[in-house]
Amino acid sequence: MNVENLRKKIPALGRMVYGRPLVYLDNAATSQKPEEVLDMQDSMSRFSNGNIHRAMHILSTESTSAYEKARERVRAFINAKSDREIIFTSGTTASINLVAESFSRAFVKEGDKIIISEAEHHSNIVPWQLACEKYGAELLVAEIGDDGRIKMEQMEKMLGEKDVRLVSICHISNVLGIVNPVKEIIAAAHGHGVPVMLDGAQGIVHGKVDVQDLDCDFYAFSGHKIYAPTGTGILYGKESFLEKMPPYMGGGDMVGTVTFKKTTYAELPMKFEAGTSNFIGQSCWTPALDFADSLYEDKELSEEIKRTEKSIIEFIFGELSGMEGVRVLGGTSASGDKIPLFSISADGVHPSDLAQIMDKMGVALRSGMMCSEPLLSKFGLTAVLRASFLPYNTFEEAEAFVRSFKKAVGMLR
Amino acid sequence: MTIKEVENGIVEDFSAFTDWMDKYEYLIELGKSLPIVSESGKTEQNLIKGCQSRVWLECEFRDGRLWFKADSDAIITKGIISLLISVFDGRTPAEIIDADVSFIDEIGLKENLSPTRANGLVSMLNQIKAYALAYEMKNK
């Protein structure tokens, strides 16, 4: 297997736009889907659409079995101890909100503290602000340096403060493309008896995640960024915490017995899955993660991907650092903790203009605040242009990106 | 010329472009020639904030007509603003209230006026209409 053949499995990547081949570089926003995922979504919708866990009929049996098989597939993918630790949600945002509310209700009281970092997506800021407001806690923000790295000394000092209840930080920043030293942070936090939640929206996509090895207490991620359909997500949580947390939403499928006096709740993981889940979408985790795993299992393919990623990072850094007034957030030196994700600003040119013109050249990018207003403000910016790559992207696409970037900057300056 | 005639003129100008790039080159030129808002005019009050880009709009009422100055930190947005201003500048409130801007659609720039684009253009258009409505009410 090679990348060229891999791309043939993903219909969207073969598209022509404005008479040119599509160069899709908005992967940090969402990934394109392989045939296996699309096929399963289609065939379940057509033939196995029975609501899960409830009915005796064959459609329900089939969908329930696909749904629970997907849970096991996710468990194996992140090496969780048990299926009971895998909660299906609608996405990373829902997973973080679940913890922000249920964990806080169980463990956070007035005067307690929760730590996040400056490099968080709004999804890992606002839920904590809401929880802090509701439970009278204080939100502490760990700083990052100009190089985009978390200031570890300051973080450790914060962890030493009294009544810190939780740390919630991103595994990989959606703006900087930098992998946080999460193992180090988790070990430091645990040293103070503080549990850690990781926002894995980007982290799950780039390299293997082993929650037992990381020893994180919660890990949140979305399906749509890792080849699964939209509206699918996972909350991994250690059973010891999930057991003690009250349900987030009430409804069907999450109860034991219901009377008007007292309701008992279902066992994990159902306790946190009220209402009809997106069972068709969630079932598609199985082919999506098979696809994700196949990228690493095939030795030839994984070597090619590794090689390409490295040369893309070196090439883009090399080309952009040579351009006047162009800046890549988090620095332009390729160290081992960088994924092929680049947030770029160019003096005198607005990122939305670049994105709009480059779109017409066939290159799909993101521009704006990246849902990370505090981080951009820190760098004195109101918007950036972001190019983000996945293993299915090629070196030629990186070249096309740089070519069109240079042309667009030339037009706009 | 009526507003409709000015709009038809713009549509005719744009019909000459067969290539997207030429169209954008032209918009960029328009953007660069826009009468910009001075730094002192870039007040919080005149700011229309979008997620993508920011727009400033100044409005003056003189001789029964409305005169606009606008600016944006994004040049393509400025180009489109320049088109809108060439349509609305120096018009009476009643003309502005009645005008539609379907010409933006006809020249293939509809996506820029989608409310979800958050580039400030839709809010700017609403603001222009709101000024017109306010002066129309005041004059009655």
Residues 13-42, chain B, touching A (beta carbon < 8 A): 20-21, 24-25, 28
Please list the active-site residues of A: 371
Chain B residues within 8 A of A383 when measuring between CB atoms: 52-53
Q: Which residues contact A100 (CB under 8 A, 6 or more apart)?
A: A127, A128, A130, A131, A168
Query: What DSSP string describes A152-194?
Result: HHHHHHHHTSTTEEEEEEESB-TTT-BB--HHHHHHHHHHTT-
Interface residue of A352, A382, A403 to substitute, partner B, most B CBs within 10 Å? A352
Q: Return the pLDDT at B116.
A: 60
- The alpha-carbon radius of gyration of chain A (Å, integer) is 22
Residue A259, C-beta contacts closer than 8 angstroms, at least 6 positions apart: none
Q: Looking at beta carbons, which residues of chain B come within 8 Å of A377?
A: none
CATH number given to A38-290: 3.40.640.10
Cβ–Cβ gap B21/A360 under 8 Å: yes
CB of B64 closer than 8 Å to CB of B105: no
Q: Evaluate whether the domain defined by A3-32+299-412 bears CATH number 3.90.1150.10.
A: yes
Residues 52-91 of B with CB under 8 A from A: 52-54, 73-77
Q: How far B76 CA lies from chain A's nearest CA (Å)?
A: 6
Helix axes B20-32, B75-88, angle to 10 degrees: 70
Residue whose C-alpha is closest to residue B102's, from B128, B84, B124: B84
pLDDT band at residue B113, thresholds of 50, 70 and 90?
low
Q: Please state, in angstroms and rounded to a whole number, the distance separating the CA atoms of residues A234 and A368.
A: 27
Give how far B73 is from chain A: nearest CA, Å.
7
Q: Smallest Cβ distance to A352: which of B24, B28, B119?
A: B119
A 10 A CB-CB count for A146 gives 10
The reply to whether the predicted model has a pTM over 0.90 is: yes
pLDDT-based confidence at B90, cuts 50/70/90? very high
Domain boundaries, chain A: 3-32+299-412, 38-290
Q: Any idea what DSSP says for residue A265?
A: E
**Contact state of B24 with A360 under an 8 Å Cβ cutoff:** yes
Q: Which region holds residue A297: left if phi is over 0, alpha if psi is between -120 and 50, else beta?
A: alpha
pLDDT in tens, A111-156: 999 999 999 999 999 999 999 999 999 999 999 998 889 999 999 9
Domains A3-32+299-412 and A38-290 share a fold: no
Enumerate domains of chain B plus CATH numbers.
3-139 (3.90.1010.10)
- Whether residues B54 and A369 touch (CB distance < 8 A) is answered with no
Segment B120-132 mean pLDDT: 85
**Quick check: B76 and A411 CB within 8 A?**
no
Of chain A, the percentage scoring pLDDT greater than 90 comes to 89
d(CA A193, CA A165): 9
Distances (CA, A) of A90 to A128, A231, A377, B2, B97: 18, 5, 29, 52, 43
Residue indicated by tokens 């939640």? A197
Query: Model confidence at A66, in pLDDT bands (50, 70, 90)?
Result: very high
Model pLDDT for residues A185-239, shown as the tens digit of each residue: 999 999 999 999 999 999 999 989 999 999 999 999 999 999 999 999 999 999 9
- Structure token digits, residue B51: 């997620």
Q: Which chain A residue shows the shortest CA-CA distance from B75? A: A353
Establish if B47 touches chain A: CB-CB under 8 angstroms.
Answer: no
Q: Which of residues 110-129 of B touch A (CB under 8 A)?
A: 118-119
pLDDT in tens, A272-319: 999 999 999 999 999 999 999 999 899 999 999 999 999 999 999 999
